[in-house]
């Protein structure tokens, strides 16, 4: 009887686990040419975002370090990059050239030229290039003062990415709650006040979301950062690696670019993971041992 009871418990546990496994959408290849969906895709992007941030921050740091040297070659590279950016953006926006087309809706939204904000891309590249040219002509003291001012801009850019990335899930929850309320009341959408008119997108018909929902989410994130976020800021700025104004500009810029890119592709990522990877990237420009790899804070971040 004792063995039978143990066998029954194990069998029940296996059955529950199997049903739970089948309920969860682990991986769905989707339509041909489209983006796969499922839990495994989300997990993959959770690890991919900090990796992209680390690579971007490393490259930006190397670019800034070379720009600080009193040499003509970094200046030539920067000027050539600026000219190439202007020509490329002009070609994508104005010139009648053959441009790639995609049958998949996802790849169309992600990479078709008419869906990409080329002016924003050009502005970002030209801004970094101009900063590098000015940075290369300054003394060490002048560079430090300029970097402290630039860090205000880079942190503001990352804050926009933070709000755009983290507020979306809360916006979806609030919008879903309003839709459930409307359906339960059985009231026509047109008869509801404008601030309660919420509808999901249906085919070519875009969704409806009142402005108070995103504003409330942005305000909540800002209030949370002001009230309790300084502990996280202090930890990020000292426990991973020593972050100066130089490293701060590079890490925040790389983190902001990563978040803007993932938001454009509608990819779910973690803001904390992204900025952690960016800070690790700037730390690696000094030396590998400059990053505190054994700190328990890393594992706590990944778990949360």
Q: Which pair of tokens denotes residue 91?
A: 């070609």
pLDDT at 100: 55
Answer whether residue 291 is part of any domain.
Answer: yes
Whether the pLDDT of residue 36 is over 50: the answer is: yes
Answer whether residue 36 is part of any domain.
Answer: no
Answer whether residue 37 is part of any domain.
Answer: no
| Residue-number span of the structural domain to which 171 is assigned | 48-303
pLDDT at 202: 67
Average pLDDT over residues 9-17: 49
pLDDT in tens, 192-249: 777 777 776 666 667 778 888 888 888 888 888 788 777 777 777 777 788 888 888 8
Average pLDDT over residues 262-291: 81
Q: Are 285 and 261 in contact (CB under 8 A)?
A: no
Q: How many CB atoms sit inside 10 A of residue 78's CB?
A: 21
Provide the number of structural domains found in the chain.
1
CA–CA gap between residue 193 and residue 187 (Å, rounded): 11
Q: Are 262 and 269 in contact (CB under 8 A)?
A: yes
Answer whether residue 77 is part of any domain.
Answer: yes
Q: Are 115 and 166 in contact (CB under 8 A)?
A: no
pLDDT at 234: 77
Answer whether residue 199 is part of any domain.
Answer: yes
Q: What percent of the chain has pLDDT over 70?
A: 70
pLDDT at 251: 87
Q: What angle do CA 205, 208, 214 make, to 5 degrees?
A: 140
CA distances from 237 to 26, 190, 206, 247, 273 (A): 36, 50, 41, 10, 14
CA–CA gap between residue 21 and residue 36 (Å, rounded): 18
Confidence of residue 9 (pLDDT cuts 50, 70, 90): very low
CA distances from 140 to 13, 132, 143, 146 (A): 66, 14, 5, 10
Whether the pLDDT of residue 176 is over 80: the answer is: yes
Answer whether residue 128 is part of any domain.
Answer: yes
Confidence of residue 7 (pLDDT cuts 50, 70, 90): very low
Closest of 91, 113, 88 to residue 100, by C-alpha: 113
End-to-end, the C-alpha distance of the chain in Å comes to: 43
Answer whether residue 122 is part of any domain.
Answer: yes
Mean pLDDT of all residues belonging to the chain: 74
Helix (H) or strand (E) holding 94: none
Residue 35: CB partners within 8 Å, gap ≥ 6?
41, 104, 106, 107
> Which range, 54-68, 86-100, 152-166, 255-269, has the best average confidence (pLDDT)?
152-166
pLDDT at 37: 60
pLDDT in tens, 53-111: 888 888 888 877 777 677 788 788 888 888 988 888 777 766 555 555 555 555 555 55
Whether the pLDDT of residue 6 is over 80: the answer is: no
Q: How many CB atoms sit inside 10 A of residue 168's CB?
A: 15
Q: Are 251 and 279 in contact (CB under 8 A)?
A: yes
Whether the pLDDT of residue 183 is over 70: the answer is: yes
CA–CA gap between residue 145 and residue 275 (Å, rounded): 23
pLDDT at 31: 54
DSSP 202: B
Answer whether residue 7 is part of any domain.
Answer: no
Whether the pLDDT of residue 20 is over 60: the answer is: no
Q: How many CB atoms sit inside 10 A of residue 208's CB?
A: 13
Question: What is the number of alpha carbons within 13 Å of residue 181 lying toward its C-beta?
Answer: 10
pLDDT at 245: 84
């Amino acid at each position: 009887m004792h063995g039978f009871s143990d066998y029954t418990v194990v069998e029940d546990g296996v059955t529950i686990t199997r049903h739970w496994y089948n309920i969860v959408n682990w991986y769905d290849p989707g339509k041909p040419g489209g983006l796969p969906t499922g839990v495994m895709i989300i997990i993959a992007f959770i690890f991919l975002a900090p990796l992209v941030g680390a690579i971007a921050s490393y490259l930006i740091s190397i670019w800034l370090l070379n720009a600080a040297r009193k040499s003509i070659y970094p200046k030539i590279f920067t000027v050539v990059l600026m000219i190439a950016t202007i020509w490329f953006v002009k070609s994508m926006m104005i010139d009648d050239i053959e441009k790639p087309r995609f049958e998949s809706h996802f790849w169309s939204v992600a990479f078709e030229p008419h869906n990409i904000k080329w002016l924003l891309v050009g502005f970002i590249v030209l801004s970094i290039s101009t900063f590098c040219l000015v940075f290369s002509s300054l003394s060490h003291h002048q560079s430090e003062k300029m970097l402290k001012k630039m860090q205000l801009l880079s942190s503001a850019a990352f804050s926009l990415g933070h709000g755009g990335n983290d507020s979306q899930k809360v916006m979806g929850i609030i919008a879903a709650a309003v839709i459930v309320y409307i359906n339960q009341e059985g009231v026509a959408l047109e008869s509801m006040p404008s601030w309660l008119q919420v509808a999901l997108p249906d085919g070519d018909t875009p969704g409806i979301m009142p402005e108070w929902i995103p504003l409330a989410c942005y305000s909540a994130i800002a209030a949370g950062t002001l009230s309790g976020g300084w502990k996280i800021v202090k930890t990020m700025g000292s426990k991973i690696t020593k972050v100066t104004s130089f490293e701060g500009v590079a890490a925040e810029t790389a983190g902001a670019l990563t978040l803007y890119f993932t938001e454009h592709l509608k990819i779910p990522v973690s803001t904390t993971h992204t900025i952690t990877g960016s800070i690790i990237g700037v730390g690696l420009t000094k030396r590998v041992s400059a990053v505190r790899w054994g700190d328990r804070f890393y594992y706590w971040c990944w778990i949360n």
